[in-house]
A and B are shown apart, each in its own frame.
Chain A
């Protein structure tokens, strides 16, 4: 009876309650499930081939070597070409940057026009665009080959940029349109009374308010385009192959010894860009910029 405590203030919560054990237990198991392959890849990429042949894939490297990373980046051969992944990396960068900028620039103006400047048939136009999001890419591969050939862009990096821009359009336009629709209409009206036109409102009112959605769009496009394999292998020629295609060619080469450490390092290198994007923009992703625009 001496322990009788009068309830007062915050309710005490035991650290090792059943709920907490369940909650954290589940989280740890799931996290381990996803992190384990990554661990194996990193560990393997730091081992030499003799050590890998022993077969303890979970064991940390006895002798840490960075040679597989160097080889994957600069020396691995695909066919007769022995420049490693570096060439694919620069190809990917060259494809990625114009594709991301172009698709986001066009889609954001599209979304803005559809959300704020309703014109005759704007709903029909929007519906057609959305239907585009549901058509499987594979259906359009051959027609696009013909279109690109007629335009003289087949096998050219700019052809691939065009394809990425067009295929990003439905989902990005939807994204931007929905975001701009949620911006209070009165803000738009006030800007019109203040004498701002189509581009004035877009650049000076809408754009500065929409940083979060631009970050979302950039994440979507960078990961999507970087990870693309299908379009890259079809619409470019070997000299312009993006990193994913080159990775495949290195990993899947059938001749010679399978260099697991080099393959792991190459895969990690290829996955690095999306990973960095996620880590760098996570905070912006969550932040609300428009707070206080309207009553609050």
Chain B
């Protein structure tokens, strides 16, 4: 069953088109992440779904009901904001019950719901405190609770973890995932953090310039990016790109001839100018490289050890090359190493359209 349906959504601020004829169909219980660089329109889309912005054109349906003209409170949504947006003059309990009081719900029902949300989020001891007396993580939990008590079908998260420090962010990320597993609500989550997107999402929508570039499962987006922008946006360290041409079963770049043996073309094998992308973690070095279809010998010019792994910089065919190696790899700048990769793990994009080939 469809939970949220966005149909031909367009939003303009004067002459500026922020969202352009956007369509998404989100099934019930799905965790959808809207991912993109700042200014791509992802928060705007979320605000449109919430009803906080009037759309220029198009429709929004929630639970098979056209809510395009509904007030935010009438849409059956709960929203969590980046800055928590807790009402400073109210206690935690007051914050949780504010929406319910506005809906003129009976007192005992309010109490029941607040107690349940507090239990799920483990904020019972904090109920009588004011937001100023809470830590960042606790505040965000209360903000989630405010959406929880309203017993809504759809949760909207607007970069909820961006204001937290790295460790807390990782903890709360897991908690949000657990919450989704136990509640099974539809959740739409806006972030610019690809780790959050990859770990949380059932599907990711990567946006750029108000247009969804790709809407797919995290694995599909990572392994088979639909265009060059998506390939470059997902993955850290960034994917390596080579400019060249496809000639028969090989990719020619800067004098080097890289075999394309095993590459699965989208339609049929083509030739002509193209980009080749290969992720740093898909480049194998040392002994194992010898057996791969594409091999080369490069000089390491910089090493960035990161503990869990090591990033080595070299250059291939005149282009800087990032190679992700084991954290224990004994490599120093100046070393000559043998590298190789499997073309099946690479991605080819058309030179002109930048679409996947």
Evaluate contact between A193 and B130: CB separation under 8 angstroms. no
Binds A, one of B75-83, B120-128, B187-195, B304-312: B75-83
Task: Report Cα–Cα, A186/B146, bound state, in Å.
Answer: 14
Which residues of A lie under 8 Å from residue B77 when comparing CB positions?
193
Task: Report Cα–Cα, A193/B85, bound state, in Å.
Answer: 11
Evaluate contact between B85 and A187: CB separation under 8 angstroms. yes
Task: Report Cα–Cα, A289/B130, bound state, in Å.
Answer: 12
Binds B, one of A194-202, A263-271, A275-283: A194-202
Q: B163 an interface residue at 8 Å Cβ cutoff?
A: yes
Evaluate contact between A192 and B71: CB separation under 8 angstroms. yes
Q: B17 an interface residue at 8 Å Cβ cutoff?
A: no
Which residues of B lie under 8 Å from residue A205 when comparing CB positions?
87
Q: A191 an interface residue at 8 Å Cβ cutoff?
A: yes
Which residues of B lie under 8 Å from residue A153 when comparing CB positions?
none
Task: Report Cα–Cα, A293/B90, bound state, in Å.
Answer: 10
Q: Which of B139-181 contact A (CB under 8 A)?
A: 139, 146, 150, 158, 163
Evaluate contact between B89 and A209: CB separation under 8 angstroms. yes
Which residues of A lie under 8 Å from residue B98 when comparing CB positions?
191, 194, 196, 204
Evaluate contact between A196 and B163: CB separation under 8 angstroms. no
Which of A194, A289, A291 interacts with B73 by CB under 8 Å? A194
Q: Which of B61-102 contact A (CB under 8 A)?
A: 71-74, 77-79, 81-89, 98-99, 102
Which residues of B lie under 8 Å from residue A295 when comparing CB positions?
83-84, 136, 139, 163
Evaluate contact between A187 and B72: CB separation under 8 angstroms. no
Task: Select from chain A the residue with minimum beta-carbon distance to B139.
Answer: A295
Task: Report Cα–Cα, A55/B146, bound state, in Å.
Answer: 74
Chain A: minimal CB distance from B177 (Å): 23
Evaluate contact between B87 and A193: CB separation under 8 angstroms. no
Chain B: minimal CB distance from A40 (Å): 47
Which residues of A lie under 8 Å from residue B256 when comparing CB positions?
none
Say yes or no: A184-B52 contact (C-beta < 8 A), given A196-B98, A292-B131, A293-B131: no
Say yes or no: A294-B84 contact (C-beta < 8 A), given A193-B73, A193-B77: yes
Chain B: minimal CB distance from A202 (Å): 13
Task: Report Cα–Cα, A47/B38, bound state, in Å.
Answer: 74
Q: B103 an interface residue at 8 Å Cβ cutoff?
A: yes
Evaluate contact between B52 and A189: CB separation under 8 angstroms. yes
Task: Select from chain B the residue with minimum beta-carbon distance to A205.
Answer: B87
Bits for A175-187, please: 1 = Cβ < 8 Å to B, else 0.
Answer: 0000000001011
By the criterion of a CB under 8 Å from any partner CB, how many residues of chain A are at the interface?
A: 24
Which residues of B lie under 8 Å from residue A209 when comparing CB positions?
88-89
Task: Report Cα–Cα, A292/B73, bound state, in Å.
Answer: 25
Chain B: minimal CB distance from A206 (Å): 10
Evaluate contact between B81 and A189: CB separation under 8 angstroms. yes
Which residues of A lie under 8 Å from residue B83 when comparing CB positions?
184, 186, 294-295
Task: Report Cα–Cα, A296/B84, bound state, in Å.
Answer: 11
Task: Select from chain B the residue with minimum beta-carbon distance to A192.
Answer: B72
Say yes or no: A189-B85 contact (C-beta < 8 A), given A196-B98, A292-B131, A296-B132: yes
Chain A: minimal CB distance from B202 (Å): 24
Task: Select from chain A the residue with minimum beta-carbon distance to B81.
Answer: A186
Which residues of A lie under 8 Å from residue B85 when comparing CB positions?
184, 186-187, 189-190, 294
Evaluate contact between B99 and A192: CB separation under 8 angstroms. no
Q: B18 an interface residue at 8 Å Cβ cutoff?
A: no
Evaluate contact between A194 and B131: CB separation under 8 angstroms. no
Say yes or no: A186-B131 contact (C-beta < 8 A), given A192-B52, A209-B88: no
Evaluate contact between A193 and B79: CB separation under 8 angstroms. yes
Which residues of B lie under 8 Å from residue A189 when comparing CB positions?
47, 50, 52, 72, 79, 81, 85
Q: A28 an interface residue at 8 Å Cβ cutoff?
A: no
Task: Select from chain B the residue with minimum beta-carbon distance to A290.
Answer: B88
Say yes or no: A193-B99 contact (C-beta < 8 A), given A292-B88, A292-B131: yes
Which residues of A lie under 8 Å from residue B51 when comparing CB positions?
192
Which of A186, A195, A293 interacts with B102 by CB under 8 Å? A195
Which residues of A lie under 8 Å from residue B99 when comparing CB positions?
193-195
Evaluate contact between A190 and B81: CB separation under 8 angstroms. yes
Evaluate contact between B84 and A191: CB separation under 8 angstroms. no
Task: Report Cα–Cα, A205/B89, bound state, in Å.
Answer: 8
Say yes or no: A190-B79 contact (C-beta < 8 A), given A184-B85, A196-B98, A209-B88: yes
Chain A: minimal CB distance from B71 (Å): 7
Which residues of B lie under 8 Å from residue A294 when comparing CB positions?
83-85
Evaluate contact between B86 and A293: CB separation under 8 angstroms. yes
Evaluate contact between B146 and A190: CB separation under 8 angstroms. yes
Evaluate contact between B102 and A194: CB separation under 8 angstroms. yes
Q: A25 an interface residue at 8 Å Cβ cutoff?
A: no
Say yes or no: A194-B146 contact (C-beta < 8 A), given A189-B79, A291-B132: yes
Chain A: minimal CB distance from B121 (Å): 17
Which residues of A lie under 8 Å from residue B158 when comparing CB positions?
186
Q: A208 an interface residue at 8 Å Cβ cutoff?
A: yes
Chain B: minimal CB distance from A65 (Å): 51
Chain A: minimal CB distance from B70 (Å): 12
Task: Report Cα–Cα, A184/B82, bound state, in Å.
Answer: 11
13 contacts between A and B (CB under 8 A): A184-B85, A186-B83, A190-B86, A192-B52, A193-B73, A194-B146, A194-B150, A195-B71, A195-B102, A204-B87, A289-B88, A294-B83, A294-B84
Given A205-B87, A294-B84: 15 more A-B contacts, CB < 8 Å? A186-B81, A187-B85, A189-B72, A190-B86, A191-B87, A193-B72, A194-B73, A194-B99, A195-B73, A195-B99, A196-B98, A208-B89, A292-B133, A293-B132, A295-B139
Point out residues on B near A: beta carbons under 8 Å.
47, 50-52, 71-74, 77-79, 81-89, 98-99, 102-103, 130-133, 136, 139, 146, 150, 158, 163
Q: Which 7 A-B pairs have the closest CB atoms?
A: A292-B132, A195-B73, A194-B99, A195-B102, A293-B88, A186-B85, A190-B85
